[in-house]
Amino acid sequence: MVRIGTLPYRLLALRHGADLVYTEEIIDKKLTNSTRVLNKQLGTIDFIRGKEGALVLRLLEEEKSKLV
């Protein structure tokens, strides 16, 4: 299921009883070259890449123990 591991979908699955959730496919180089930023407005941890601020990955504390 490509592109269906986004944060809203993962939260929906967790809140309806999923034991584990997966992030969307991420290219490792993009993640290692990104900056970890705490998004206080959303309460998320964002990984941002480059000057344009492209979002690579967004995580939420609620999914921490069940995210693969």
Phi-psi region for residue 11, left (φ > 0), alpha (ψ -120 to 50) or beta? alpha
Whether the per-residue pLDDT at 2 is higher than 90: the answer is no
Q: What is the mean pLDDT of residues 42-49?
A: 94
Residue 5: what pLDDT? 82
pLDDT digits (tens, 9 = 90+) for 9-40: 999 999 999 999 988 888 888 889 999 999 99
In whole numbers, what is the pLDDT of the chain averaged over residues?
A: 89
Phi-psi region for residue 20, left (φ > 0), alpha (ψ -120 to 50) or beta? beta
The position carrying tokens 């584990």 is 20
pLDDT band of residue 3 (cuts 50, 70, 90) is: low
Write down the domain spans for the chain.
7-66
Q: Strand, coil or helix: what is 53?
A: coil
Q: For the whole model, what pTM was predicted?
A: 0.78
Q: Strand, coil or helix: what is 61?
A: helix
